[in-house]
Amino acid sequence: MSKELLKGNIAIAEAAVRAGCEAYFGYPITPQTELLEHMSSRMLELGRVFLQSESEVAAINMVYGAASAGARAMTSSSSPGISLMQEGLSYIVGSEVPAVIVDVVRGGPGLGNIQPSQGDYNQLVKSAGHGDYHPIVLAPANIQEAIDLTVLAFDLADVYRTLVFVVADGTLGQMMEPAELPPMRALRPRPEWALTGKGERPQNIISSIYLSADLLEAFNQKLQAKLALIAQREVRYEAYQLEDAEYVVVAFGTVGRIAKTAVQNLRRQGIAVGLFRPITLWPFPEKQLSELADSGRIKAFLVTEMNAGQMLQDVRLAVGRDVPVHFYGRMGGVVPMPEEIETALAELVNGNGRLPKTILEGKNGHPTR
């Protein structure tokens, strides 16, 4: 295999095809539409299922149906579309069927705009549907990683019979860079729990209803045990130049990539900064960040996001009270330049772990507690 120049949305779509996605259902929404368009020809070429649904509500319930029928199924959308899918997400988790969803995040709230954003962090990590659960959330920072994580998403969904998100933003969806696609995999056989017509075996049921409080609590305990296992086994993150770092920038996805440039520039000036980039937003690399904070070496963390500070809360929970955690963010579809992050980091360094007043009062900086 060799690298080719690929657009993010199309790379994700083709990775899904090669990972053995058997059924795709979706509704057009910018900035993810190329993904749907790619599927519309590719899936039919391969004799697989492609359907443009009447809405995101229908799309997620078609995914629910196809996954219940034993197919590797997926949909893709962007922020407002994901909001529409919330009910279906919860049913998928409650019925323990595997499904993969790609969210190419755009600016909100409301209709917002179609520019890159990370405003869906809370929607995906904290509140992807009613009930007590988190989906697995994978956040690539470049197109190669988007490909690899899409393949991983299908495998994790199958292993844990749960919902897995791949979260990109408009930047990643629309940009092109060289990357290598995986080899084509065969479709996996239907799981034994799937709805296939009962034949001679007892009836299979896919349902999320437990009328008795005791039974529903028992199911929830089982679900929590599964989530605990995922949290223990599936944490992924990138640690960049953290060995001797005194200042750490924490960022995910596209911003993680931008922050890496800022770190490189400051390193050239001899400043001991590093990057901590969560790849799984859930399970969040809480323990790893906590250990970093406890090393006694870190003077301050700077969380940077394309939102008002959503992951910031998780970083603060992980770091605790001993090391200050600052924030620099842009919203509304504004992508930060490396220099902005560099400046914020440099100010932090000059202030010996404190951001100067000018930054604190700026529209994007949040004062530390």
Partner 1 sequence: MVTQLVEPTEKLVYQRPDSLAELYTHYCPGCTHGTAHRLVAEVLDELRLQNDTILVASVGCSVFSYKYFDVDAAEAAHGRACAMATGIKRVHPDKIVFTYQGDGDLASIGLAETMHAAIRGENITVIFINNAIYGMTGGQMAPTTLPGQETTSSPFGRDVRLTGNPIHVAELLAAIPGTAYSVRRSMHDARHVLQAKKAIQTAFTVQQQGLGFSIVELLSSCPTNWKMTPNEALSWVRDNMLPVYPLGDYKVPESLQSTKRGKRD
Does residue 247 interact with partner 1 by CB under 8 A? no
Give the nearest distance from C-beta 79 to partner 1 in angstroms. Answer: 21
Does residue 51 interact with partner 1 by CB under 8 A? yes
Backbone angles phi, psi at 311, to 5 degrees: -65, -25
Contact 166, 138 (CB under 8 A): yes
Residue 136 CB-half CA count within 13 A: 31
Phi-psi region of 288 (alpha: psi -120 to 50; beta: other; left: phi over 0): alpha
Which residue of 9, 32, 33, 61 would you call a contact of partner 1, by CB under 8 A? 61
Which residue of 1, 2, 186, 200 would you call a contact of partner 1, by CB under 8 A? 200
For partner 1, the closer of residues 132 and 243 by Cβ is: 132
Does residue 298 interact with partner 1 by CB under 8 A? no
What one-character-per-residue DSSP string does 239-306 give? EES-TT-SEEEE--HHHHHHHHHHHHHHHHTT--EEEEEESEEES--HHHHHHHHHTS---EEEEEES
Tokens of 211: 């009328």
Does residue 54 interact with partner 1 by CB under 8 A? yes
Tokens of 341: 């992050």
Stretch that binds partner 1, among 5-13, 29-37, 51-59, 214-222 (CB under 8 A): 51-59
Does residue 228 interact with partner 1 by CB under 8 A? no
Does residue 65 interact with partner 1 by CB under 8 A? yes
Sign of CA dihedral 322, 238, 230, 11: positive
Sign of CA dihedral 43, 45, 49, 50: positive
**Residue of 49, 115, 58 whose CA lies nearest to 81:** 58
Interface with partner 1 (CB under 8 A), residue total 40
How far apart (Å, rounded) are the C-alpha atoms in residues 174 and 170? 6
Does residue 253 interact with partner 1 by CB under 8 A? no
Tokens of 217: 């609590």
Tokens of 306: 């394309």
Residue ranges in 68-87 that form contacts with partner 1 under rule CB under 8 A: 68-71, 73, 87
For partner 1, the closer of residues 23 and 242 by Cβ is: 23
Phi-psi region of 197 (alpha: psi -120 to 50; beta: other; left: phi over 0): left
Does residue 66 interact with partner 1 by CB under 8 A? yes
Does residue 100 interact with partner 1 by CB under 8 A? no
Does residue 62 interact with partner 1 by CB under 8 A? yes
Which residue of 8, 81, 88, 278 would you call a contact of partner 1, by CB under 8 A? 88
Does residue 142 interact with partner 1 by CB under 8 A? no
Which residue of 11, 18, 64, 293 would you call a contact of partner 1, by CB under 8 A? 64
**Residue of 298, 296, 278, 297 whose CA lies nearest to 288:** 278
Sign of CA dihedral 181, 183, 186, 188: negative
Does residue 93 interact with partner 1 by CB under 8 A? no
Does residue 95 interact with partner 1 by CB under 8 A? yes
Stretch that binds partner 1, among 21-29, 236-244, 270-278, 331-339 (CB under 8 A): 21-29
> Strands 280-282 and 136-138, how do they pair?
antiparallel
Does residue 215 interact with partner 1 by CB under 8 A? no
Give the nearest distance from C-beta 23 to partner 1 in angstroms. Answer: 6
Which residue of 176, 184, 205, 337 would you call a contact of partner 1, by CB under 8 A? 205
Does residue 261 interact with partner 1 by CB under 8 A? no
For partner 1, the closer of residues 46 and 57 by Cβ is: 57
Contact residues: partner 1, CB under 8 A: 22-23, 25, 49, 51, 53-55, 57-59, 61-71, 73, 87-88, 91, 95, 195-200, 203-209
